[in-house]
Amino acid sequence: MSEGILVSQPVPASGETRRLNPVVRLLGRTLTVRRGQIGLALLALAVVAAVAGPHLAPFGVDDFVGAPFQPPDGSSLFGTDNLGRDVFSRALAGGGGLLWMSAGATLIAMVFGTAIGLIAGQSRGRLDGLLMRAMDVILAFPERVLVLLCVAIAGAGGLLLMVSVGLVFMPAIARASRAVTLDVAHKEFVQYAEAIGMPRRQILMREILPNILTPLMVEAGFRLTWAMGLIAGINFLGFGVQPPTADWGMMINENRDGLLFQPWAVGLPIICIGFVIFGANLLADAVARAAARIEG
Amino acid sequence: MTMTHGASVEVTSPASSRKPALAKTLGWIGRRLVASVVVLFLVSVVVSIATQLLPSDPARIILGELATPQMLDAFRSAHGLNDPYIVRYGRWLASALTGDFGASLANGNPVAGQVFPALANSLILTVIAIIIAVPLSTLIGAAAATRARRASDQIFDYVMLALSALPEFVKGTLLVLVFATAVWRVLPAIAVIPPGASPLAYPRDIVLPIAVLVLSAVPYLSRLIRASLVEVLASEYVQMARLKGLSPSRILWRHALPNAVVPAIQGAALCMALMLGGAVVIEYLFRYPGIGALLTDAVRNRDLPMLQALIMVYAAVYMLVNLAAELLMLAVSPEMRAAGR
């Protein structure tokens, strides 16, 4: 095959002769770590529950099945909520939104943050300064405060929440990817590419990006965990998805008044959120360890 | 953020760096302060433009639904709401610089009179939480580091990962579940602190909010201390102390820990910055009269002047805390100055 005859490609600094896709290699390493396996299993369970849950649920999310705050009994496994809806059915349906919203927010942050960091790091000069000062303005607040400002301007809602969390996380990714870009930009293979007159866009995409993917994946793992916490928290405050949608964060807030007589209405969503975010954090930690092993 | 402090070596010779060191540091602080003021100014511009986009009409909110168009117009011209944007922004900035942020749309009272007492209340929570979290994290981190790679260290790691992953409102609700409602009823589920009173006069009411903040800071700080202590314990001077026959506890407390706590100092300051964000949810959960509760109310009511003031105060405090974190780092390791830029 023609691919066998390699046009002599600049060898990356790690000195590897065969270039394996860094993302594949990192994820492979991640899954050899015990906590990576546990984390992935928990997340996979949550995804399965989010997809299959609504079909397995004994009742619909909006069905009134009994009096408000009824303790668990034969008909409803975990009792009823503040309006008399089935807690178990709502908990099954309440995680899907959180999962895709945090994944979407992480994706937005990674794509735009990486692009800004790459461009800033490679151009240096005035554009670099301008982009990074813009990021400084976003970094001038606690993340949650900025998300709430977005909510105040554009109104509460799930999609908006996802976009604003993505934007709020973007500067940190931009900074991180700019830092690693600056590191890589000095290496011989980049200088070589510059010397042979490779267009800047191609240098960015073909030479620099593959070499900063590993640290970016580590960043993405932790951002996913934080996005989950942040989004669940905003939903808890009532500024995210709106009733009557079933959502774990919102369920916790709705059913707080019934803590004394029906703790399950709050306890079940707490358990769900706890395991999912713990799973994400385990996975992120495993990715970080795997990356440290590859780099070190 | 690097944890390999102590390993780096001063590159410049002592003779050339000794005299201008202080001047350099002061210059650095000065530049950072100027940069912070510039960013704050940009923030104020961005926020005021953003609040222009708010689909809320102050005249309508204050005068109510029954106001006639003539009344609305009269109100708008009396309060300068019809002026061009630049004029309104200039007016806002001029009075904000004198500490006057206008009146709240929700209750008509001056914004500043509500924001600053609330900020004080929030700072009380975070400062107490840090005072508890730092020694606690040091103990836990030291205990884990001396058992590195054993089963109990593994358990520590998993518990801390779980604690750091759980959002504040989940930890808070769990504590309410256990200590205030379903299991025991030993503490109040919400903080009932009358307006104007000091939270310190209601110690029982602030136990749970502070506990949540502590539980959020401890995983981060104790893992920081554990990591740096593991490194220090493997260093040559600790080996030397062992060979000299010093007792393990003396090595730990007198020789290793003082060096290992260095990264935690900056970590603690960063933690305070993180707590400011976390406090928003905690204050809502416990109905604690802090700046975070004000923020949630302002967002809910679309209370524009309040929102503008709160955002500025958040940005200013956040920057000061971050600056303090960098200064602390500078104070404990001068060679960081070059790396920190």
| A292 interface with B at CB cutoff 8 Å | no
Tell me what pLDDT residue B20 has. 63
- pLDDT band of A19, cuts 50, 70, 90: low
Which pair of tokens denotes residue A118? 């790459």
pLDDT of A2 > 50? The answer is no
Contacts of B296 in chain A (CB under 8 A): 148, 237
pLDDT tens figures, B75-88: 777 777 777 788 88
Query: For residue A43, what pLDDT is reported?
Result: 95
The model's pLDDT over B233-285, given as tens digits with 9 standing for 90+, comes to 888 888 888 888 888 888 888 888 888 877 777 788 888 888 888 899 999 99
The domain ranges of chain B are 21-96, 114-339
Please tell me the predicted confidence (pLDDT) of residue B56.
63
pLDDT-derived band at B335, boundaries 50, 70, 90? low
Which residues on A lie below 8 Å from B284 (Cβ)?
A: 237
B63 closest CA partner among B103, B92, B105: B105
Taking the CA of residue A187 as centre, how many other CA atoms within 13 Å lie in the half-sphere pointing to its CB?
18
Model pLDDT, residue A15: 44
Residues in chain A within 8 Å Cβ distance of B276: 142, 145
In this prediction, residues A43-55 reach a mean pLDDT of 91
pLDDT of A20? 66
What's the burial of B261, exposed, middle or buried (CB within 10 Å: 0-12/13-18/19+)?
Answer: buried
Q: What is the mean pLDDT of chain A?
A: 88
pLDDT of residue A40: 95
Residue range A254-283, pLDDT digits in tens: 999 988 889 999 999 999 999 999 999 999
Q: Is the pLDDT of residue B14 over 60?
A: no
pLDDT digits (tens, 9 = 90+) for A145-186: 999 998 888 888 889 999 999 999 999 999 999 998 888 888
HSE-up of residue A173 (Cα within 13 Å, Cβ side): 29
Whether A167 and chain B come into contact, CB under 8 Å, resolves to no
The strand pairing partners of A85, in sequence order, are A64
Q: What is the ipTM of this complex?
A: 0.86
Q: Report yes or no: B158 at the A interface, CB cutoff 8 Å.
A: yes
What single-letter DSSP state applies at residue B110?
B
For residue B174, name the pLDDT band (cuts at 50, 70, 90). very high
If one compares A128 and B17, the residue with the highest pLDDT of the two is A128
Which residues, in sequence order, are bridge partners of residue B103? B110
> Span B28-44, mean pLDDT?
87
pLDDT at B99: 83
Q: Looking at per-residue confidence, does A32 or B331 come out higher?
A: A32
Say yes or no: B227 contacts chain A, CB-CB below 8 A: no
Check residue B54 and give its pLDDT.
67
Residue among A9, A32, A14, A43 at smallest CA distance from A278: A43
pLDDT at A14 over 70: no
Domain map (residue ranges) of chain A: 97-218
- Cα separations (Å) of B170 from B274, B312, B316? 17, 28, 28
Query: So what's the pLDDT on residue A9?
Result: 46
Regarding pTM above 0.90, the answer is no
Tell me what percent of the residues of chain B surpass a pLDDT of 90: 30
Instruction: State percent of chain A over pLDDT 70.
Output: 93
A38-A42-A44-A48 Cα dihedral, nearest 10 degrees = 150
Written as six digits, the tokens of A182 are 């600056």
pLDDT of A45 strictly over 80: yes
Q: Is B99 left (phi over 0), alpha (psi -120 to 50) or beta?
A: left
pLDDT of A91 over the 50 cut = yes
Predicted pLDDT at A137: 86
The reply to whether B46 touches chain A by the CB within 8 Å rule is: yes
pLDDT tens digits, one per residue of A211-253: 888 889 999 999 999 999 999 999 999 999 999 999 999 999 9
| In chain B, alpha helices (H) | 14-18, 21-52, 58-63, 69-78, 85-97, 111-146, 151-165, 168-179, 203-233, 236-243, 248-250, 257-260, 262-286, 291-301, 304-332, 336-339
Neighbours of A129 (CB within 10 A): 12
Q: How far is CA B84 from each of CA A13, B81, B309, rounded to the nearest angstrom?
A: 57, 8, 21
The answer on pLDDT for B17 being more than 80 is no
CA A273 to CA A98: how far, in whole Å? 9
Q: Mean pLDDT over all residues of chain B?
A: 83
Q: Which residues of A touch B174 (CB under 8 A)?
A: 270
CA atoms within 13 A on the CB side of B157: 16
Average pLDDT for B45-69: 75
Q: Give the residue, B214 or B243, on which the prediction is more confident.
A: B214
Task: Tell me yes or no: is domain B114-339 CATH 1.10.3720.10.
Answer: yes
By CA distance, what is B46's nearest residue in A? A137
